[in-house]
Chain A
Amino acid sequence: MLDSLRRRPRLAFALLAVLLAALPFIMGFGLGNSWVRVLDFVLLYVLLAIGLNIVVGYAGLLDLGYIAFYALGAYVYAWLASPHFGLHLPFWAVLPIGAAVAGLFGVLLGAPTLRLRGDYLAIVTLGFGEIIRIFMNNLNAPFNLTNGPQGMNLIDPVSVAGLSFGKSLHLFGMKLPPTYLYYYLFLAFTLLAILVAFRLQDSRIGRAWAAIREDEVAAAAMGINTRNMKLLAFAMGATFGGLAGGLFAAFQGFISPESFTLWESILVLCMIVLGGMGNIPGVILGAVLLTMIPEALRYIGDLQRATLGHIVVDPSDLRMLLFGVALVAMMLFRPAGLLPSRQRKREFAAEDGVAEQEQASLYDAKA
């Protein structure tokens, strides 16, 4: 079955398109409308994971503060399209602004951290993520920029050609709730992001990132401006994050600093590690699994209530437990991820860290 599809890519493509188009209806009728909302979040996380994968998977820069860019995108959206400042710019103007602001912050964060490697970079980016969240939490006085911990409310929904995504759409006698409409919007952005990521990977720029990840000194000796290429990776990843943040704000209509904790950064990182860093299908799989499974686990709570009359094991505790078990199992059995990239698989197969140590010592005063 899979084999015959592989031989007919057009047919496979058409089937996939139909499946993606029908998915919210399948989920909605099969499992209930709350699952369409889950689908929307799956798409947002795929978008985030694809963006982080550019930084971590392609360029090899461990970024633990990625969610800060998601936050920036969301807050920019809220500032420009909510009653907070009385601005109500259209989404097609606000989204790019949010993405650009996030991209700019990507460069601002990248510039001072480029000399750092590995663990050190991780610590600094982690700090950056927390700083942004703490700012959002506290910038309600003296001038109320973010409304502090209460967050910002009544954010404008996306609206295209007079059609507001905030209300259900009646089409051919069918009622499409906002979650359905956002599904198609998010799907469009996600597919676009996937295309961009694929094309970047398979280009002069993608090769330069891969070279930097493999051996930064040799990459420089091949005429690659390592500083600029790393900044570019940061900026690209941050832009994707900012875009996802804007979509999130419009979708929820409400944002608060609580949505942008360190845990979220780690979750997105887990998605790409689990799925297979550097490989887009793997990254998508990781995002899908880590968004859907916790939702599915909620049923365990209902199940307990139905059979035992009360909750014995809290599903959210169970979620953490399973998460830990899954990650340990991964490290043991599939360290390169569920669907690893060709290159990553080889890296884990070769067991020498020597080249890396050498690299750390060769780069002298000029970085």
Chain B
Amino acid sequence: MSVLLSVDQVTKRFGGLAALEDVSLTVEAGEIYGLIGPNGAGKTTLFNCMTGLYTVTSGAVRLAGAEVQALKPHQIVKRGFARTFQNIRLFANMSALENVMVGRHPRTHATVLGAVLRCRKTRAEEAGIREHAHELLRYVGLGGKSRGLASHLSYGDQRRLEIARALATEPKLLALDEPVAGMNPNERQQMGELFRKLREGGVTLLLIEHDVKLVMGLCDRVAVLDYGRKIAEGPAEEVRRDPAVIAAYLGGEA
């Protein structure tokens, strides 16, 4: 297997607070990688550092071997790394379909001139965008809800829509920040199935999740963050038995 993402000694400080300290991890192509840890451990901060929203204080993030920590978010997306947000950030006043259509942006080319002249190429591309977006909505189980406003969808459907929108950018690696938070066990199970389907479709998943049972059942490997440090990494079963993890996290909650 090849390494798709490697985080190398990343530190992120906010003023005096070190939200991440010397964190290193590697995600291999084709796996589902779990990132767990108590609230405030720095999981979301790590996502933001990886996807160009935050500048790292020190360290490197490599995507398929190339350093990306200095790139802008849109450049990282273009290289095949998409994400969702813990606090859902849909385009609330657009329809579900339009949200996904926006996600096609980095993979389409129409320029101002093309859009204004509406030449055959532009029209074909536009039809393709629409088609692809419909397909993705069906894929995540929102087939019948394309016309509704994003903000009118149920909480669980909004999470699905965020995934569809991220998939529209054709990621090799998809990072999901607490994608099942606030869902009932039934919905969680359905989401778990979606994640497996995604992996089978060739997308590598990086997953922040609190639900230890879901993480253990789904992830090939897991890393545990606590107070900005990585305290364990390995196959789910091993990590579950790690005394440091039990002390820091599992013991406290489970």
Q: Which residues of A contact B (CB under 8 A)?
A: 195-196, 199-200, 203-208, 210-211, 214-215, 217-226, 232, 236, 343, 346-347, 350, 355, 358, 362-366
When the two chains form the complex, which single residue of B53, B101, B118 contacts A364, counting CB atoms closer than 8 Å? Answer: B53
A-B pairs with the 3 shortest C-beta distances? A223-B106, A223-B77, A203-B115
Given A221-B82, A222-B105, A222-B106, verify A362-B53 contact (CB < 8 Å).
Answer: yes
Which residue on B lies nearest to A208, using beta carbons?
B105
**What string of 1s and 0s marks CB contacts (under 8 Å) between B82-123 and chain A?**
110101011111100010011111111011100110100010
Contact B112 A343 (CB under 8 A): no
Given A203-B110, A223-B169, does the pair A365, B74 have CB atoms closer than 8 Å? no
- Given A200-B112, A205-B110, A223-B169, 11 additional A-B pairs, CB 8 A: A196-B116, A203-B110, A203-B122, A210-B91, A215-B92, A217-B89, A221-B83, A222-B102, A343-B93, A350-B151, A364-B55
Min Cβ gap A113→B in Å is 18
- Assembly CA distance A366 to B94 (angstroms): 26
Closest chain-A Cβ to B192's Cβ sits at a distance in Å of: 24
CB-based contact B115/A207 at 8 Å: no
Q: Which residues of B are found within 8 Å of A195, using beta-carbon distances?
A: 116
Give the nearest-CB partner of B72 in chain A: A366
For B108, what are the chain A residues with a Cβ–Cβ distance below 8 Å? Answer: 204
| Contact yes or no, A223 B78, CB < 8 A | yes
- Residue B129, interface by CB 8 Å: yes
Check B165 for interface membership: any CB of A closer than 8 A: yes
- Of A200, A218, A220, A343, which one neighbours B115 at CB under 8 angstroms? A200
Segment 47-93 of B: residues with Cβ below 8 Å from A: 48, 51-55, 72-74, 77-78, 82-83, 85, 87, 89-93
Query: How far, in angstroms, from A183 to B84 measured CA to CA in the complex?
Result: 52
Contact of A346 with B149 at beta-carbon distance under 8 Å, contacts A364-B53, A365-B54 already known:
yes
Given contacts A204-B105, A204-B108, A207-B98, contact A365 B55 (CB under 8 A): yes
Task: Tell me how far the C-beta of A228 lies from the nearest C-beta in chain B, rounded to whole angstroms.
Answer: 9
C-alpha spacing A206/B126, complex, angstroms: 12
C-alpha spacing A350/B150, complex, angstroms: 13
Complex formed: what's the CA distance from A141 to B93 in Å?
52
Contact with A along B160-200 (1 / 0, CB 8 A): 00000110110000000000000000000000000000000
Complex alpha-carbon distance, A224 and B106, angstroms = 7
Which A residues touch B83, using CB under 8 A? 221
Shortest distance in angstroms between A359's beta carbon and chain B's nearest beta carbon? 8
CB-based contact A214/B91 at 8 Å = yes
In whole Å, how far is A190's beta carbon from the nearest beta carbon of chain B?
A: 15
The one of A211, A219, A225, A366 in contact with B55, judged by C-beta atoms closer than 8 angstroms, is A366
User: Cβ of B92 and Cβ of A222 under 8 Å apart?
Assistant: no
Q: Give every chain A residue within 8 A of B165 (Cβ-Cβ).
A: 222
A-B contact pairs, 18 of them (CB 8 A): A203-B110, A208-B102, A210-B98, A211-B94, A214-B92, A215-B91, A220-B73, A221-B85, A222-B77, A222-B105, A222-B168, A222-B169, A223-B74, A223-B78, A224-B74, A355-B89, A364-B54, A365-B55
List B contacts of A205 (CB < 8 A).
110-112, 115
